[in-house]
Amino acid sequence: MVKLRVHSEKCTGCKACEAACSYHHGKIFSPKVASLWVYRADKEGTMHIKLYAELTEEEKKGRFPCDRCVGEPEPLCAKYCVVGAIVVA
Amino acid sequence: MSEKQFSLAGKVLRVDLTSGRVWTEPTKRYTQRFLGGRGIDNWILYDEVKPWVTPFDPANRLILGTGVLVGTLAPCATRHSIDGKSPMTGGVGSANSCGHFAPELKFAGYDHIVFQGRSRRPVFLWIDDDQVKILDASLIWGKTTWETDDLIKEDLGDEEIQIACIGPAGENLVRSACIITNRARSASRCGLGAVMGSKNLKAVAVRGSGSIEVAYPERFMEVVDETWEKLRLSGAASKVRNPHTLNELSLMPVRNFQYAYMSPDKLDKLMPEVYEEYEVRKLGYFACPIYCSRFYQVKHGLYAGLASEGLHTNDLWNWVARFDLDLDYPAAMIKLHALCNEYGLDQDNASCSIAWAFECYQRGIFTQEDTDGLKLEWGDYQVVAELLRKVAYREGLGDLLAEGSKRASQIVGQGSERLAIHIKGQDSMEAMRTSKGWALGCGVSTRGGTHTRGAAFIEMQKDIPSEICEKIWGVQVEGPLSYENKAKLVVYYERLQAVLDSLGVCLFCSNYNGPDLLGPDDLAELYSAATGIEMDGDGLMRMGERIHNIEKAFNVLHAGFSRRDDYPPQRLMDEPVKSGPMRGERLHREKWDQMLDEYYELHGWDKETGWQTRKCLEDLDLRRVADDLEKVERFSAQFLDSVS
């Protein structure tokens, strides 16, 4: 299984990774079910990318756990991250 | 057409602020003829606001519309259009911005929000998926947009809420007030922040947990990949407008358009690399691979501690050129940008009216008695900053400038009218003596000036191969000084812009910026795969023409605009460029007339009056609009001939 590496400091906050992830799981665009979350603090200009490899009971109600995009040629979050904030390790 | 509407949230949210009633209607009622975003917004505006309604009447509408492709992975599909009757022109008011607000609204289940009426007390709208509440805003009324953003998030206990709000400028009915999202993204021009203020509506806060589904997922993702790749190959992300290039083209509105070229030494101090010292990170919004924005932090000097997103080409024009700044402290430009965002001021309009006041002071029309004791001397950015505050709070001279330079000059008189640089009543921020297609697009723009309607920025690009020109525009792209073929380019970009604003896609990723970027066929592929409604590029451009004609008719009915309102500011025709490589260049009235004739002909409008014809409107399936214009005799002689 591929490994993902996250560089939050490079993130532009575009959330394409969230949209792409939800597409992988359900062929829909729905950031709130994605296996990752970009927390964007507009006030401070900071980003934090959180990958959900495992989910808590509460998180299971909404999100899919990350399966490293099984079945895809490459993880979609990394594919649509044009600045290298999420890369295949 | 199938019942399901792919790529849409599906609902238009209606809010009557007078009665407090909230209801929804299906978006599909409008999509077939007006796409989405700006297209649907402007049809609702046309359909529901009567010509005798004034911009601050409760009967005016404030309409927020997301684009059809927003919320998907279509590149740069992250924009919302905000529309209403304009306090600047009395015609169409239309503003556009990116941000995370539009996708969040769609995920909450709504493509548009239509506000009508006026609340008796300050309120904000809270949308949490299908729970919609009108909440008391008395504690945030009077706050800046940044304070409002903080307080609403704190109050609702959620940092991820997306907020569109006004600052003091909107509350005080400043005609250059805008609507801010993400603390820095501004839906500017036309004063729609003041329309929001007139309704006692401080903010719209939204949280959405739903999804957007496209009709053909695999096909859609193939087109997504093709278009993202096209943007990557074009280098769109790294294209920066070089200040020196714009200066050599004399596109600088120096000292309120008295000059068009400035000392290159002043620009050297403001090159993009100068700002790298302040840059914290690059920023983009939903599914945007271009990420043109930056977040800055100021660590020293007068504005130490300031942290803000901002800066684009407009800042160069609005502050550096307009006030002829010689900045040894580059952070001043970041501060002026941030102040506008905090106050909820549209920096284009606000800077123009302040520059008009500076020239009045230069010429002795104003003395310190008129300016609250301030010395309005070119180059003084601290005075500009103070006047921004005064405008936002309508304090002293700011109360006058809050009206925009045209109205202010009519109040002041004494020849100051000649110094008010406006189109259709809205301050014009663009220098345009040396770029004829850019100028024509601004001159005929439905929203009153501005380069984001039909301005042919493409004319600045050199050496586009002739076969590419022929394929995309059907004519050769001549250089900026030529009047040749410019009408055709402007009509092309008017249609394309209407399409982009209705799909929610950013102008910067389109062929506005270069022939290798996205054009109508690319957008049609995205649209067809997303919605399941097959459409080619020509079909989309026809929709764009229809949307443009709705706005044109609104302007004729509401503001009485005709051919005489489609001219550039007189100064740009009378006074040539005084220095630099383009010295002596100006706009020529007789050549402008020829461009206008050709422009009206391409639209199928009457050349004498500039008004629409029944034929052109019926060809666009707008018979109802033709009937409305006929009732008030705002039809051309051509129409009368055709029915006699």
Considering only CB atoms, A20 lies closest to which of B73, B217, B232, namely: B73
At B269, the amino acid letter reads K
Q: What band does B236 get if pLDDT is binned at 50, 70 and 90?
A: low
Confirm whether the ipTM is greater than 0.85: yes
In this prediction, what percent of chain A has a pLDDT beyond 90? Answer: 84
**Portion 22-61 of A in contact with B at CB < 8 A:** 22-23, 26-33, 39-47
Neighboring chain B residues of A20 at a CB cutoff of 8 Å = 73
pLDDT at B156 (0 to 100):
95
- How far is the alpha carbon of A46 from chain B, nearest alpha carbon, in Å? 8
Cβ separation B289–A43 shorter than 8 A: no
pLDDT at A1 (0 to 100):
75
Cβ separation B280–A45 shorter than 8 A: yes
- How far is the alpha carbon of B333 from chain A, nearest alpha carbon, in Å? 18
Neighboring chain A residues of B71 at a CB cutoff of 8 Å = 19, 29
Neighboring chain B residues of A12 at a CB cutoff of 8 Å = 281-284, 288, 291
What pLDDT, in 10s, does the model give residues B268-310?
988 888 999 999 999 999 999 999 999 999 999 999 999 999 8
Q: What band does B415 get if pLDDT is binned at 50, 70 and 90?
A: very high
The count of other CB atoms within 10 Å of the CB of residue B534 is: 10
B230 touches chain A (CB under 8 A): no
Return the C-alpha torsion angle B100, B101, B103, B109, nearest 10. 150
Query: Quick check: B60 pLDDT over 80?
Result: yes
Q: Going by C-beta distance under 8 Å and a sequence separation of 6 or more, which residues neighbour residue B38?
A: B65, B81, B83, B94, B96, B498, B501, B502, B547
pLDDT at B635 (0 to 100):
72
Domains annotated on chain B, with CATH: 11-207 (3.60.9.10), 236-427 (1.10.569.10), 438-504+536-643 (1.10.599.10)
Q: What band does B644 get if pLDDT is binned at 50, 70 and 90?
A: very low
User: Within B369-485, where are the H helices?
Assistant: 381-392, 397-401, 405-412, 436-444, 466-473
B214 touches chain A (CB under 8 A): yes
Please name the residue of chain B whose CA is at the shortest distance from the CA of residue A44: B307
pLDDT at B468 (0 to 100):
96
pLDDT at B564 (0 to 100):
96
CB B522 within 8 A of CB B503: no
Q: What band does B636 get if pLDDT is binned at 50, 70 and 90?
A: low
Q: Going by C-beta distance under 8 Å and a sequence separation of 6 or more, which residues neighbour residue B9?
A: B27, B66, B71, B105, B106, B107, B108, B109, B110, B111, B210, B212
Taking residues B547-552, report their average pLDDT.
98
A81 touches chain B (CB under 8 A): no
- How far is the alpha carbon of B530 from chain A, nearest alpha carbon, in Å? 11
- Look at residue B86 and give its three-state secondary structure: coil
A8 touches chain B (CB under 8 A): no
Neighboring chain B residues of A59 at a CB cutoff of 8 Å = none
At B594, the amino acid letter reads Q
Q: What is the pTM of this model?
A: 0.97
Neighboring chain B residues of A25 at a CB cutoff of 8 Å = none
Cβ separation B286–A19 shorter than 8 A: yes
A62 touches chain B (CB under 8 A): yes
Residue of A7, A12, A23 for testing the chain B interface, max B β-carbons within 10 Å: A12
Q: How far is CA B247 from CA B229, B292, B461, B486, in A?
A: 32, 21, 15, 22
pLDDT at B639 (0 to 100):
45
Taking residues B41-57, report their average pLDDT.
98
Query: Quick check: B332 pLDDT over 50?
Result: yes
Taking residues B243-263, report their average pLDDT.
94
Taking residues B137-165, report their average pLDDT.
97
Taking residues B447-455, report their average pLDDT.
95
Please name the residue of chain B whose CA is at the shortest distance from the CA of residue A16: B287
Considering only CB atoms, B72 lies closest to which of A29, A40, A83, namely: A29
CB B483 within 8 A of CB B436: yes
Please name the residue of chain B whose CA is at the shortest distance from the CA of residue A20: B73
Taking residues B499-506, report their average pLDDT.
98
pLDDT at B643 (0 to 100):
40
B73 touches chain A (CB under 8 A): yes
pLDDT at B1 (0 to 100):
44
Cβ separation B285–A32 shorter than 8 A: no
Q: CA–CA separation, B492 vs B494, rounded Å?
A: 6
Cβ separation A42–B285 shorter than 8 A: no
Please name the residue of chain B whose CA is at the shortest distance from the CA of residue A28: B213
Query: Quick check: A59 pLDDT over 90?
Result: no
Neighboring chain A residues of B228 at a CB cutoff of 8 Å = 80, 82
pLDDT at B55 (0 to 100):
98
